[in-house]
Structure 1
Amino acid sequence: MKRNLFTRKILFVFCVTLLTALLVACAAKEVNTVPVEDKEKRVKVEKPMLLSMGETLVTKADIVPSQEVSVVAEAEGTMVARKTQIGKLVKKGDILFTIENSSIDLALSKLQLEKEIARKRLDNAKIEYDNSVTLRKMSLEKLEQQKLILEREMERFQQLYEASAIPKKELEAIEDQIKLLALDIKQGKEGYRQLLQNQDLALMEVQLKELDIALQDISLKQDKLQIRAPITGVITELQGAVGMKLRGGEPVAKIESHQPLYARAEIAEHELIYVQNRKSFPLQVTVLNETLDSQLLFISPSPKSGKNGYKMELQIANNHNHKLLPGMSAQLVLSDDRSQEVMTVPNSALFRDADEYHVFTVKEGKAVKTLVEIGRRNKEYVEIISGLTSEDAVVVLGQNQLEDGDIVVVLQ
């Protein structure tokens, strides 16, 4: 019994010793493999990102109409019709209001009647004149014909008298008739000349022209009873109502031209560099969520009096849908260079060596120390100006343990 117990103890000690030896051997084998695994550095990589490193430089702009006109009544009268409303788009020449003035209407009717009478009187006078001229002309021709006949007859009488065939009294009688005819012809020609120079017709024509001028004047006054839009635009104000008495010069409406619209802004002296040698500028309209084009019209040559600002005025090109309205809030974009997307990497990926900046990239399973040129920085990222491409794998985690050429394992 004691011998069996002793044998069991020996077997137990032997098994424990064997097991211990096996464990030590396995541990030694694991220790030998650790240095091999430590040769591969584990890292995390990212490609460079495109990010905006700044804000757009803008200034407040006021949207104003290109033209604003106050419409006034140019004649006195009573408003009898209003043919428009606030917010309506009207064209130049459209009738906005109608005014009634009985005195103008009466004066127009009276002048029209006077002109008609004067015209008829002139027409009749011309007919009478033409008839008188014709009769005078015919009478002169008849007298001259009679004188010619008597002169021929006198030649015959002269021959008869010389032949003592007739007495001298008969010759003298025919001479007296010729003298009387000559006198009648002379008087007739003078009357004809005076008739041709008659001023009655000319005076009547002057009177008719005066009536025409008076009619034109009263017609203009009557036309002013129709109040028309002086420009194409949008009605922004209306005053007065049907039945209201209006005085000449009294304002009745306002019209704004929205085609085109203008943008007005002021910039500081240090911002002039952003607008020099430029003709077009983006205009951000927040309420419309749109950016419109605007063309520079002018920049004031000197600061506005009492303010350190240079006035700018621009024409907004594309408001054909009439969505943009005067008074809307807008931002004039002076420069968006600082808001452009640039290549960036996390700040943690960057390290400095001898006044130069580097990052580690992974190429063909090895860490490559890469020289980079940096630009702007913020709390998280740094701008890479040169040294990297958008496809480079930049080490962003584990770079502190790396040396150039180290074998790396990229963690997913």
Structure 2
Amino acid sequence: MTMPSVRMRIWIGLGILALIGFAWAFSPRAVAVDAAPVSRKDMTVAISDDGVTRVRDVFVLSAPLDGTMTRVEVEPGDFVTEGETVISTIRPLLPPLLPARTTAQLKSTVSSAEAALTAARADADRLRAEHARLERDLDRAKTLLASATVSQQAVDNAEAAERESYLALRSAEAVIGVRRQELAAARAALMPSEAQNGNDAIAVVAPLSGQILSVNRESEGPVSQGTPIVDIGDLNSLECVADFLSEDAVRVKPGDPVLFTDWGGDPLPGRVRRVEPAGFTKISALGIEEQRVNIVMDLDAADDRQSLGHGYRFVANIVVWQGDDRLTVPMSALFRDGADWAVFAIRNGRAEKLTVSVGHTNRTEAEILDGLTETDRVVIHPPRQLEDHAKITVR
């Protein structure tokens, strides 16, 4: 064998190796994917949202009058008894101190009222004496009428004069009562602040039996009528309320099962009691206006209420649909293919894109009505580079 032929064979071999290397470098490689089986299981569809607990009937005890309230001795969580437990006491407001000019004016008013009362009494005494004289004249006229000394007309005139005098006397006595009250009012305006004592205090008593939920005003000091003092309620009447989007709330009906989670303990079962008929607008954390509806729920077990209090947070999971023995795939396996749903099924080491018919869905699973069988496996979280019939390797 000559030297040129050996060199030729070497170059041919190197060329073949280079072609093989290029072919291997640019040949499609298997895509590493995650997979999950298609399985049959019981499936539930639930809607979830945050809510809070609340006592069904909260009574706000308010100050019944303006005054100075003593310190509230009860604390949140204390039990109170209807008509017995004294929450606080309120002393009516003391009259303000009077300046010298006002005091002089009020004293003058008192003197005027005393003089008016004296004048009214004197006028009443005068009318009383006049009435007594007219009564004697009437008696005399009746006696003379019996002996035909005077006429009936004279007797009638005497009776009219006596009646008129009597009414005038009654009016004068009423004026005395008016003047007496005016004098009492004038003297009361001059009454010093020290005239009030501790007996004027009014006790604020619990209107029902229950627990103190919160103390709105604790320290001693002046209060105005209607100022909230404490909130009272019965924790045995605890209920749960959560606001849901209106498009979710229309799927809920009374009696639907609920699971309360994320409250700090094990999940608690419950039931929907009422879906409120009126919605309201609420601004979301992203600044979007949402129409929300309050849904009121109850805990199934009375003992569960002992673990919760008024205003505690939870997550309500309301079951709106349940199905038995449903063919399901993870939601992460589904993707949109135009207007249809599709998945990548693993068959013979390749990813085969299949169009599927989807029924109910929840946050983790989707019900498959058509397109897959129980023996299939599907790709979850399919990468962007994955194409139909591409080679794959399952991680």
Classify the TM-score, shorter chain: 0.3 to 0.5
Structure 1 or 2: larger strand share? 2
- Using the size of structure 1 for normalisation, the TM-score is 0.42
Structure 1 or 2: larger helix share? 1
Pair member with larger Rg: 1
- Using the size of structure 2 for normalisation, the TM-score is 0.44
